[in-house]
Amino acid sequence: MNAAPKVLRHLSDLLAAGLVSDADRAALEQVAARYAVSITPIMAGLIEVGAADDPIARQFVPRAAELETTAEERADPIGDEAHSPVAGIVHRYPDRVLLKLTAVCAVYCRFCFRREMVGPGSEVLSPAMLEAALDYIASHEDIWEVILTGGDPLVLSPRRIKAVLDRLAAIDHVKVMRVHTRIPVVDPSRITDDLVRALRIDGKATYVVLHANHPRELTEDARAACALLIDAGIPMLSQSVLLAGINDDPETLGALMRAFVECRIKPYYLHHGDLAPGTAHLRTSIAHGQGLMRHLRGRYSGLCLPDYVLDIPGGHGKSPVGPLYCREADEPDRYLVDDFNGGQHCYPPKD
């Protein structure tokens, strides 16, 4: 009987799978000592071994370039700590908070903005910390939405997830719960009937936001896992990161957004790459991202258009950084508007 494929967690696993070269061992040992490594069997199976710059490998397989830190990079690139009143809570916006239940993920992305804070050993919030976090939410009546994040909250058992959601549901002013996860694509077998039941809370709205960056991640198993959630009445949105060599061309980015929509997942955010240490080789320029968004508009359904956003370093929140299509003309009360083919039009028309 063949053994089940295992999660690749160590440099020796990556070497045995042919995903890294022994010539790079010394540098990659330094990378793995600093940043967590984990690649699930389904993601490892999508990697074209030996292919130069395979887009799945670029997301999960460590590289020596991660040892190169630029001057603008920072350990907490989006300023979580500046808005963390108690452990596990980030309260950056008035009506919503992040609840970071765990610092563990099924896979560890090489571009992760929390890469200095996640990984084995961090584990979950202690019972006392979780109580303090829930007390904070209960005591702030302006909190309308709670976003479960981490790490990846769906690495936890359905029982634990349900226990937390039930506690949140008992807080009257919390009306919406949102779960950010990669699990449906990287480990779809975890999306079970028990998990779906845990996520459905009577009288409250639960949304699942799926993180995927390349259309190949939307496998048949991933699509079936998403359908299980959606058919149970749990709406899904997507978030992706714009990544060099992975999805930074119009065809790949457009195919990814279409794949989401085909799965009944509404594209939500396209994040500009954060200034996390050792990630410069995966970041694009904002101008390049704006050009990609211009290409998508008009050529792809409006359902396929996410908001292109930048999380401003220092904890100042997300802002749209997509291209502008309308600007003031030289004449009062008139505007110049670009169409999707690059034509320019005066509004209101002069004729």
Provide the annotated active-site residues: 92-93, 96, 105, 109, 112, 114, 274, 311, 318
Return the number of other C-beta atoms located less than 10 Å from residue 200's C-beta: 15
Spell out where the chain has E strands: 89-93, 96-100, 145-149, 176-181, 205-211, 236-241, 265-271, 307-311, 318-320, 326-328, 335-338, 344-347
138 token code pair: 């209960």
Please state, in angstroms and rounded to a whole number, the distance separating the CA atoms of residues 231 and 264.
10
Q: In sequence order, what are the beta bridge partners of 265?
A: 236
Return the number of other C-beta atoms located less than 10 Å from residue 45's C-beta: 11
Q: Please name which of 337, 324, 327, 331 lies closest in space to residue 346, comparing C-alpha atoms.
A: 337
Contacts 24+ apart (CB under 8 A), 165-173: 165/198, 165/199, 165/201, 165/204, 165/206, 166/201, 167/134, 168/99, 168/134, 168/137, 168/204, 169/201, 169/202, 169/203, 169/204, 171/134, 171/137, 171/138, 173/141, 173/142, 173/143, 173/144
Q: Tell me the HSE value of 315 on the side-chain side, using a 13 A CA sphere.
A: 12
